[in-house]
């Protein structure tokens, strides 16, 4: 038997073992979760009813998804909690075009994936993999608590009542989830406000978000301020390397390569050195 076949049988045995173990502990009571397939409508309903969204992302080949279908979602405490506090969406990430769009939006990489979403800004927390009913409830509640707190921060920011720390927290939340346009707008408002000073790490995060959103001008300005204000910061080498990448993607290969050569002379043992040597080599081949 091939190694591939042996591994496949081992995986199947594991999944079947979980199913048998669950079947050996019958659920005391069950209920049905109402799953919708229309994310846009669910978001509108969630905004209207002040609830969160739970998106269950699955695929045809995901055996663990079937186990959760059979033994987790129908458990009475789970079904009741989802029905009371969430609008529930089920999408196939591969066979459904809307599901594929949600997979990209929420950056889902493996399955099962349960995404708890705050509907106003679509901030989210993703739970990957199988968990039993009690663990699932505990983690969904923790995700919901985190998102409700972020929602309150976002409301304070929109009302102009947020502290600098809260505004940074919201900007970080957008950036961490790949919402770079929103993150860039939030960071830029901080960078341009008189009297506001970001620490080096936040200044670098701002530059990354701005560059990722395509605002290279403000990204380079943020990097310049970081280099001037915090020359000895641990974030400065990363910022200088990023400056070269921005210039390279803008087509200014001469300045980019000059920056990277200087960078390698200053930071030859930096963890980023191998990456910088690689992009420098690529850039030099285009000259």
Dist CA 74 CA 133 (whole Å): 9
| Alpha-carbon radius of gyration of the chain | 24
- Measure Cα distances from 57 to 46, 105, 128, 152 in Å: 18, 12, 10, 27
> Where does 83-231 show beta strands of DSSP type E?
86-92, 113-117, 124-128
Beta bridge partners of 87: 53
The model's pLDDT over 245-272, given as tens digits with 9 standing for 90+, comes to: 999 999 999 999 999 999 999 999 999 9
Question: pLDDT at position 21, please?
Answer: 43
Predicted model pTM = 0.85
Question: pLDDT at position 286, please?
Answer: 84
Mean pLDDT of the chain: 90
Angle between helices 180-191 and 216-229 (to 10 degrees): 50
Terminal CA-CA length for the chain: 53
Residue 212 Ramachandran class (φ > 0 left, ψ -120 to 50 alpha, else beta): alpha
User: Residues 110, 128: contact at Cβ < 8 Å?
Assistant: yes
Instruction: Name the strand (E) or helix (H) holding 147.
Output: helix 133-158
Here the tokens at position 255 are 């300045």
Beta bridge partners of 75: 30
Question: pLDDT at position 29, please?
Answer: 65
Dist CA 85 CA 82 (whole Å): 5
Enumerate domains of the chain plus CATH numbers.
24-155 (3.40.30.10), 161-286 (1.25.40.10)
Dist CA 128 CA 48 (whole Å): 28
Question: pLDDT at position 28, please?
Answer: 54
User: Residues 90, 84: contact at Cβ < 8 Å?
Assistant: no
User: Residues 206, 188: contact at Cβ < 8 Å?
Assistant: yes
User: Residues 259, 279: contact at Cβ < 8 Å?
Assistant: no
Bridging pattern class, strands 52-58 and 86-92: parallel
Low-confidence ranges of the chain (pLDDT < 50): 1-24, 26
Question: pLDDT at position 4, please?
Answer: 39
Cβ-defined contacts of 95-101 (< 8 Å, 24+) = 95/59, 95/60, 96/37, 98/37, 98/39, 99/57
Question: pLDDT at position 272, please?
Answer: 96
Question: pLDDT at position 17, please?
Answer: 42
With tokens 């950056």, the residue in question is: 107
């Amino acid at each position: 038997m091939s190694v591939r076949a042996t591994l496949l049988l081992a995986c199947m045995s594991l999944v079947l073992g979980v199913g048998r173990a669950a079947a050996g502990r019958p659920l005391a009571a069950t209920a049905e979760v109402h799953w919708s397939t229309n994310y846009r409508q669910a978001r509108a309903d969630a905004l209207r009813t002040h609830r969160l969204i739970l998106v269950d992302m699955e695929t045809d080949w995901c055996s663990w998804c079937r186990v959760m279908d059979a033994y987790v979602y129908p458990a009475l405490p789970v079904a009741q909690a989802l029905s009371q506090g969430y609008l529930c969406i089920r999408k196939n990430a591969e066979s459904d075009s809307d599901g594929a769009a949600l997979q990209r939006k929420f950056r889902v990489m493996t399955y099962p994936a349960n995404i708890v979403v705050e509907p106003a800004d679509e901030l989210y927390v993703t739970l990957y993999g199988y968990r039993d009913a009690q663990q699932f409830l505990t983690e969904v509640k923790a995700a919901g608590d985190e998102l409700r707190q972020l929602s309150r921060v976002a409301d304070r920011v929109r009302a102009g009542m947020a502290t600098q720390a809260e505004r940074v927290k919201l900007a970080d939340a957008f950036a961490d989830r790949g919402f770079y346009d929103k993150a860039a707008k939030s960071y830029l408002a901080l960078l341009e406000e008189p009297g506001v000073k970001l620490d080096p790490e936040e200044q670098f995060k701002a530059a990354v978000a701005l560059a990722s959103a395509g605002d290279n001008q403000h990204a380079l300005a943020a990097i310049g301020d970081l280099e001037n204000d915090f020359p000895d910061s641990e974030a400065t080498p990363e910022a200088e390397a990023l400056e070269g990448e921005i210039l390279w993607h803008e087509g200014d290969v001469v300045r980019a390569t000059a920056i990277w050569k200087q960078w390698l002379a200053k930071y030859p043992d930096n963890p980023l050195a191998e990456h910088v040597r690689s992009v420098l080599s690529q850039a030099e081949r285009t000259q």
